[in-house]
Structure 1
């Protein structure tokens, strides 16, 4: 009894101390504008969770390109000037990685003593050069097999109904799983469907997991599905459906050689499954959705694809890599990612430091605070950079002569960062070339080999689910009903 009372008293005292700290904090003259919100300690946490983009846009309008907000006891300095992003991205001395707590909450994974820099170097070798080419071609073959399956082409003369998000996510997940976590064409449809179903359940809860916002029933579901995925990705399962030479097994061996224990290896596989599979499906949904709802864009892409098809040998589908010469298609993809990629780049302030902005101003960041960049808001949705940023313009990233456009300005200043779907600097996505190749190849095969159309020609794109801001690609709040049928042999 006395132990319980003592524990409760200590918890209350700690909470009161945190509360007093939050109430007493004031802005010094050399710090960014401070907005603590109306509720002590909680601050702006709920607004941040509901719709980070809307909340931060309001804060930007109120305070400018840099400000500090309170959210659940944390003080977060948000920088929204893309010309100053390098000051955060490349300062590893004063600004450090702050994702370990999230890894623990979401994936049950403790990698505190793991060498992240060495792992990043290892990953870089896997997703560049000859190894990237091998993975991309394997993905291409797996997509061809899945899109040419009996389920997809059961009757050449009949239309098949589906929802676009499920269509894209399921096919790209299965092909990606076969490419990285198994070997080509070796998993049964039932096994792939099981893993995909469990993954989608987990993916649907990930934002709440990261923010400790799960309800009691959701907690049980999250813990259960996470355990099932650990089991499905463990060696016994892989020995039945995969080969020891898969990328997954190479990564497991790397962890083994690095001294990571078996249980941590098992849990790390779920992290890698989510990182490698959570963005391509949603990105393909938005890309195809924008094309289906914007006929002029679809016609321009189809013309480019027809030209590629004519250059290929008869009855052979061209292979597109991430560097292929497809300026129209690339512009459509860049515009899609500009509108729907919502990465949040976060650092922990390891020591008091002066942050020097591109316009000559300097602000002091306090030790133990966090500093965040939100490229979705700036530069991607900044009207000073992209005219009518909320609209889909398929040729936004094309010059008048049809070449790729790289020159974007804010005022008179040419921007280094005018869109950042893959992050930047030390925070850039290592697998971006593989992801780009995957998305392009999938959409190319679908549009070349299938007639695809909206079930209702008057359908419009669903709005994004803003709760997922900060977790990579946004997902839709709703879907698009489509129908498709085979028009050519794969």
Structure 2
């Protein structure tokens, strides 16, 4: 296994998608973890390519209905579980674990958005139990990826079996408002008679893991850094209000808000905050396996002989924490990715501009296909938290630190949960109108 530490060599590795492949390795490890048969085999001709094509339903124009659905489902969970019976009424302070809060809200809202709702109800029963099983399985996930047989991990196997049963076809057919992405996968898997119902259900369970296993900790870190930096929180909160005001929306906490995909795209400080939190918390490995002997050219002068089955690894955390690329890399700066009122994309090392400077979602053929949806989910969650709640960290806590035991698998979890306080805010329309008027005055000055 060879680690490539020079970020200027990354483009050479990434562009050799045919010789340096990820999919065969994934097709070996994913079935061990999730319990479905390998996809790239003679019994399922064309299935792998069709699965890859289905991910297009998470991108482009298909992102708009997903974003709208997620906004509605987040409002549903927030309103029923955390806002009280009536919006716009100042509530008492509540205390809780920040990671637990993010996990419970994002898990259920994402589930409803992707898989849909049960018959005759707006929310699935037993969602708390399902999330507990998910967490038990996810705790053992590093061992499964390391090829420890699941029969030796009895709790993980029991939890996986229960979650797979949740996605059996006869159950999913009763759900409504299912995303086009899942509808397409249901149709696709039904075309293969060699797949049992339990195999199809395992595929859907794998999508659940892919949808929340990294998004939840990413949401936590973005929220934690905002709440622990009140000045950044106020900048982002004002940016959200300004976007609403410029759209002619007079926000008040006694009404539900629906931020559009276009509005989310304009939240530059929020996106910079999320990118900065991803930089500080992501520790993924981009693994490639050589499919043939070939000469890999690294630059204009250097090349290296690669043998078939050689494993090449990119470890982007090394560039994320490089002080030559990022000044004071251990520090959180909410505006690190903004320059002159625009997104900053120019980062340098040794006086040369980097093509790849932020890589929390992988690269090339292994880049997360749901990355745009994930970023929008996090934006939506944070928008609602900042619009509808006052937020504080509880006193007497040490700074949150990352647990490196999952290094290589994506976003790192905190070593322990963070205690915080929250209460519903009261913001009336005239307050936002004043804000908009003040902003317009400042712009004219």
Distance 2:178 2:328 in 1: 50
After superposing the two structures, state which structure 1 stretch, 242-251 or 368-377, moved more.
Answer: 242-251
After superposing the two structures, state which structure 1 stretch, 408-417 or 248-257, moved more.
Answer: 248-257
Q: Is the 8 A contact 1:230 1:266 kept in 2?
A: yes
The superposition leaves residues 108-150 of structure 1 with CA deviations (integer Å, 9 ceiling, x where unpaired) of: 22223254333222211x1123321001100010001111115
- For residue 187 of structure 1, report the CA deviation from its aligned partner: 5.2
Query: Secondary structure in 1 aligned to 2:334?
Result: coil
User: After superposition, where does 1:432-443 map in structure 2 within 5 Å?
Assistant: 432-443=371-382
1:275 counterpart residue number: 210
- For residue 396 of structure 1, report the CA deviation from its aligned partner: 1.2
Pairing 1:209–2:141 present: no
- For residue 335 of structure 1, report the CA deviation from its aligned partner: 0.6
Pairing 1:321–2:255 present: no
1:226 counterpart residue number: 160
Distance 2:259 2:335 in 1: 23
1:68 counterpart residue number: none
1:308 counterpart residue number: 243
Q: Is the 8 A contact 1:79 1:371 kept in 2?
A: yes
User: After superposition, where does 1:167-206 map in structure 2 within 5 Å?
Assistant: 167-183=101-117, 186=121, 188=123, 190-206=125-141
User: After superposition, where does 1:403-418 map in structure 2 within 5 Å?
Assistant: 403-418=342-357
Distance 1:283 1:351 in 2: 36
1:335 counterpart residue number: 276
Q: Is the 8 A contact 1:385 1:409 kept in 2?
A: yes
The superposition leaves residues 413-448 of structure 1 with CA deviations (integer Å, 9 ceiling, x where unpaired) of: 111101111222222221111111110011000110
The superposition leaves residues 63-103 of structure 1 with CA deviations (integer Å, 9 ceiling, x where unpaired) of: xxxxxxxxxxxxx1111222222222222332223122211
Structure 1 residues 446 and 243, CA, compared in 2 at 3 Å: closer, same or farther?
Answer: closer
The higher relative CO (CA closer than 8 Å, separation ≥ 6) is in 2
Query: Secondary structure in 2 aligned to 1:99?
Result: helix
Query: Secondary structure in 2 aligned to 1:148?
Result: helix
After superposing the two structures, state which structure 1 stretch, 441-450 or 242-251, moved more.
Answer: 242-251
Which residue among 77, 92, 105 is the counterpart of 2:17?
A: 92
Structure 1 residues 313 and 167, CA, compared in 2 at 3 Å: closer, same or farther?
Answer: same
1:248 counterpart residue number: 182
Structure 1 residues 243 and 403, CA, compared in 2 at 3 Å: closer, same or farther?
Answer: closer
After superposing the two structures, state which structure 1 stretch, 104-113 or 165-174, moved more.
Answer: 104-113
Where does the alignment leave 5 or more consecutive residues of structure 2 unmatched? 429-445
Which residue among 31, 37, 42 is the counterpart of 1:104?
A: 31
Q: Is the 8 A contact 2:58 2:181 kept in 1?
A: no
User: After superposition, where does 1:365-380 map in structure 2 within 5 Å?
Assistant: 365-377=306-318, 379-380=319-320
- For residue 247 of structure 1, report the CA deviation from its aligned partner: 3.9
2:433 counterpart residue number: none
- Could you tell me the TM-score, scaled by structure 2's length? 0.85
After superposing the two structures, state which structure 1 stretch, 464-473 or 434-443, moved more.
Answer: 464-473
Q: Is the 8 A contact 2:295 2:303 kept in 1?
A: yes
The superposition leaves residues 227-275 of structure 1 with CA deviations (integer Å, 9 ceiling, x where unpaired) of: 1111011123334555677643331212223666133212111111111
Q: Is the 8 A contact 1:170 1:281 kept in 2?
A: no
Distance 2:400 2:316 in 1: 22
Which residue among 93, 99, 104 is the counterpart of 1:159?
A: 93
After superposing the two structures, state which structure 1 stretch, 437-446 or 146-155, moved more.
Answer: 146-155
Query: Secondary structure in 1 aligned to 2:40?
Result: coil
Query: Secondary structure in 1 aligned to 2:126?
Result: helix
- Could you tell me the TM-score, scaled by structure 1's length? 0.78
Query: Secondary structure in 1 aligned to 2:65?
Result: helix
Where does the alignment leave 5 or more consecutive residues of structure 1 unmatched? 1-75
Distance 1:132 1:77 in 2: 37
1:121 counterpart residue number: 53
2:73 counterpart residue number: 142
Pairing 1:235–2:169 present: yes
Structure 1 residues 187 and 471, CA, compared in 2 at 3 Å: closer, same or farther?
Answer: farther
After superposing the two structures, state which structure 1 stretch, 152-161 or 229-238, moved more.
Answer: 152-161
Query: Secondary structure in 2 aligned to 1:347?
Result: strand
- For residue 476 of structure 1, report the CA deviation from its aligned partner: 0.9
- For residue 179 of structure 1, report the CA deviation from its aligned partner: 0.7
1:349 counterpart residue number: 290
Q: Is the 8 A contact 2:92 2:423 kept in 1?
A: yes
2:368 counterpart residue number: 429
- For residue 277 of structure 1, report the CA deviation from its aligned partner: 1.6
Distance 1:309 1:380 in 2: 33
1:451 counterpart residue number: 390
- For residue 461 of structure 1, report the CA deviation from its aligned partner: 3.5
Say how many residue pairs are matched.
410
After superposing the two structures, state which structure 1 stretch, 341-350 or 437-446, moved more.
Answer: 341-350
After superposing the two structures, state which structure 1 stretch, 297-306 or 479-488, moved more.
Answer: 297-306
Distance 1:245 1:393 in 2: 36
The superposition leaves residues 48-71 of structure 1 with CA deviations (integer Å, 9 ceiling, x where unpaired) of: xxxxxxxxxxxxxxxxxxxxxxxx
